[in-house]
């Protein structure tokens, strides 16, 4: 794949690599978002066809920095999509963004999401010059809110019945992290 200077930068650690999304990720993106466990706490129901993944990629791939920094999460030495991490809804004068992440169930529990989030937060507070990063989490998603709290995110509010997925309404906890409060931990 040719490098496009308008793509989000590749971010790497010893354990994970964040690279721009590619059309060739479609089957793996479908595997992620067709999984009922992944979508249990998401804002949409599990996908039922590969065309949904292709449409999702077609919509997101043209979104470029500085509006959205969307990455495919991969492992070093393998370029295969195993999850996604994003900084989005960037607000220039307010120096804020929202954080999102998801990971294939077969890769969960290994600290890979933690490492990907660490890279994204570091990029947000470093080169992007953000002052605040926010996240929206279903209160039942304990692993997600624990991940955020690991980095110093503070639970700031509850939005009741914020999302409707599969006929069920779900609440959202809103988390916020200020640059001054960020704990750069692994």
Give 186 or 15, the one with higher predicted confidence: 15
Confidence of residue 62 (pLDDT cuts 50, 70, 90): confident
User: Which pairs with CB-CB distance under 8 Å and at least 24 residues apart come from 1-8?
Assistant: 6/64, 6/65, 7/64, 7/65, 8/64, 8/65, 8/68, 8/69, 8/70, 8/71
Segments of the chain assigned E as strands = 11-12, 17-20, 69-74, 83-91, 96-103, 132-137, 154-165, 168-178
Interval 6-57: pLDDT, tens: 678 999 999 999 999 999 999 999 999 999 988 888 888 899 999 999 999 9
3-state SS of 126-145? CCCCCCEEEEEECCCCHHHH
Query: What average pLDDT is seen over the chain?
Result: 90
Residue ranges of the domains in the chain? 11-135
Is 1 a residue whose pLDDT tops 80? Answer: no
Is 158 a residue whose pLDDT tops 90? Answer: yes
Give 91 or 11, the one with higher predicted confidence: 11
Is 172 a residue whose pLDDT tops 50? Answer: yes
Span 130-144, mean pLDDT?
95
pLDDT at residue 6, rounded to an integer = 67
Neighbour tally for 72: CB within 10 Å: 23
pLDDT at residue 144, rounded to an integer = 95
Span 63-74, mean pLDDT?
87
- The CATH number corresponding to 11-135 among 3.40.50.300, 3.90.1150.10, 3.40.50.2300, 3.40.630.30 equals 3.40.630.30
pLDDT at residue 3, rounded to an integer = 46
pLDDT at residue 56, rounded to an integer = 92
Confidence of residue 4 (pLDDT cuts 50, 70, 90): low
Is 2 a residue whose pLDDT tops 50? Answer: no
């Amino acid at each position: 794949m040719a490098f496009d200077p308008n793509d989000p930068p590749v971010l790497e650690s010893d354990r994970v690599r964040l690279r721009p999304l590619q059309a060739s990720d479609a089957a793996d993106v479908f595997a992620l978002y067709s999984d009922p466990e992944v979508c249990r706490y998401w804002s949409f129901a599990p996908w039922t066809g590969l065309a949904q993944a292709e449409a999702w990629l077609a919509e997101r791939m043209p979104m470029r920095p500085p509006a959205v920094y969307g990455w495919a999460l991969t492992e070093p030495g393998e370029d295969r999509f195993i999850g996604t991490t994003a900084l989005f809804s960037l607000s220039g004068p307010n120096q804020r963004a929202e954080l999102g992440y998801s990971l294939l169930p077969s890769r969960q529990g290994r600290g890979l999401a933690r490492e990907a989030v660490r890279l994204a937060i570091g990029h947000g507070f470093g080169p992007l010059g953000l002052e605040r990063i926010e996240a929206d989490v279903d209160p039942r998603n304990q692993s997600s809110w624990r991940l955020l709290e690991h980095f110093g995110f503070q639970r700031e509010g509850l939005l009741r019945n914020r999302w409707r997925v599969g006929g069920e309404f779900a609440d959202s906890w809103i988390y916020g992290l200020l640059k001054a409060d960020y704990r750069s931990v692994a």
